[in-house]
C-alpha cells in the first residue's frame, strides 16, 4: 500500500492509491445487510407503513407447529381478528360458522386508520358478536401516551354495554425495521406502561396486551409487571399456548392460527360465551 501527500492551497492533501483505493471501491459497492424477514402483505404488495396486522411477525420469527390446531372446547369461545387486508367482511357467515367475538384493527402509530373500520367494527356488532378494537404499536414513531390518545380518537374506546371488548395494544415485531424498534428493554417497558396508563386513565378499563412470548422476552427482558392488571392475548400458532410471558399465569385470549377456516386470524377466548360477555362488561 502506498500513500503520497501533495499540497493544495497550502494544506496537505492525502492521495490514496493502490490497495487502499481498491478496498474503498469494494466497500462502497457492497450490498447492505438484509432486513429482518417479515411475511408479505397478504394482498401480495410490499409492506409499507399502515400495512401491519396482528401477528405479522409471528410466522416469520416463531413459525407454526406441525401439530394440528387445538380441538374445539366447550369452555372456550371462537373469535377472529381482522384488518384492512380482509376488506368488507361477511359477518353473518362467520357467525353461522360459530365465531362469537371479533377484534378490528383501528389504528397504527399516530399516522394510520383502517379504512374498513366502520364496516368491520359495526358489522360484527350487528351480527350479534362481542367486538373490540386494536392498535398496532410503533414505539419508534411516537410516545405511548400519544398513541393511546390516537387510538381512542379513532375507535379504540370502551363502554360497559356487554358487547364492547376493552382495547388491545398489539405489541410485537417491527415489520419495518429493528425488531425492538431501536429501544432497550427498559425503554420498551416505559413505552408500554405509558400507553396502558393513558388508556386506563381515559376509559377506566385496563387494555389487553397482545404479544408473543419470544418477542416479549427479547424486547422487554421478560418484564413481569403488567400481568396483575392487564389481560393477556397470546400469539402462538400451535396446538398449545406454550410458555407465557413473565407476569401472566394464564391467558385471556389466544391467537392460535393465521390460516383459519375463514376470513382473518382465528382466536379462542379462554371461557364460555357468558364469561366473554362478563369480560366485556368489566
Task: Tell me the pLDDT tens digit for each residue of 116-146.
Answer: 999 999 999 999 999 999 999 999 999 999 9
As given in the structure block, the three cell numbers for residue 240 are 398449545
Phi/psi at 41 (nearest 5 deg)? -55, 130
pLDDT at 65: 77
Give which of 206, 214, 209 is closest to 57, Cα–Cα: 214
Predicted structure pTM score:
0.84
- Which position among 62, 78, 108, 170 bears the catalytic label? 170
Is 108 an active-site residue?
Answer: no
Is 170 an active-site residue?
Answer: yes
pLDDT at 32: 38
Domains of the chain, first to last? 1-31 (no CATH), 58-281 (3.20.20.80)
The mean pLDDT of the chain is: 86
Rg, C-alpha atoms of the chain? 23
Low-confidence ranges of the chain (pLDDT < 70): 1-46, 67, 260-262
- Which position among 62, 78, 172, 267 bears the catalytic label? 172
Is 140 an active-site residue?
Answer: no
pLDDT at 212: 98
- Which position among 81, 108, 149, 265 bears the catalytic label? 81
CA distances to 10, 80, 104, 170, 249 from 136, rounded to whole Å, are 58, 16, 11, 5, 24
Amino acid at each position: 500500500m502506498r500513500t503520497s501527500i501533495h499540497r493544495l492551497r497550502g494544506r496537505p492533501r492525502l492521495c490514496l492509491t493502490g490497495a487502499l483505493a481498491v478496498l474503498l471501491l469494494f466497500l462502497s459497492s457492497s450490498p447492505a445487510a438484509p432486513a429482518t424477514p417479515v411475511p408479505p402483505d397478504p394482498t401480495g404488495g410490499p409492506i409499507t407503513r399502515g400495512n401491519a396486522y396482528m401477528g405479522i411477525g409471528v410466522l416469520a420469527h416463531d413459525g407454526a407447529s406441525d401439530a394440528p390446531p387445538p380441538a374445539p372446547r366447550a369452555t372456550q369461545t371462537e373469535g377472529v381478528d381482522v384488518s384492512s387486508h380482509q376488506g368488507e367482511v361477511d359477518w353473518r357467515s362467520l357467525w353461522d360458522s360459530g365465531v362469537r367475538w371479533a377484534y378490528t384493527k383501528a389504528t397504527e402509530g399516530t399516522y394510520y386508520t383502517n379504512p374498513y373500520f366502520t364496516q368491520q367494527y359495526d358489522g360484527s356488532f350487528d351480527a350479534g358478536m362481542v367486538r373490540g378494537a386494536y392498535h398496532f404499536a410503533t414505539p419508534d414513531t411516537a410516545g405511548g401516551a400519544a398513541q393511546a390518545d390516537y387510538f381512542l380518537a379513532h375507535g379504540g374506546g370502551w363502554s360497559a354495554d356487554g358487547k364492547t371488548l376493552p382495547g388491545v395494544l398489539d405489541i410485537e415485531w417491527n415489520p419495518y425495521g429493528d425488531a425492538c424498534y431501536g429501544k432497550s428493554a427498559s425503554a420498551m417497558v416505559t413505552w408500554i406502561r405509558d400507553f396502558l396508563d393513558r388508556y386506563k386513565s381515559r376509559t377506566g378499563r385496563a387494555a389487553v396486551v397482545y404479544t408473543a412470548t419470544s418477542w416479549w422476552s427479547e424486547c422487554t427482558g421478560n418484564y413481569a409487571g403488567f400481568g396483575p392488571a392487564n389481560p393477556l392475548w397470546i400469539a402462538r400458532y400451535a396446538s398449545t399456548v406454550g410458555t407465557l410471558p413473565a407476569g401472566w399465569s394464564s391467558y385471556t385470549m389466544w391467537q392460535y392460527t393465521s390460516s383459519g377456516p375463514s376470513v382473518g386470524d382465528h382466536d379462542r377466548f379462554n371461557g364460555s360465551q357468558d364469561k366473554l360477555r362478563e369480560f366485556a362488561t368489566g
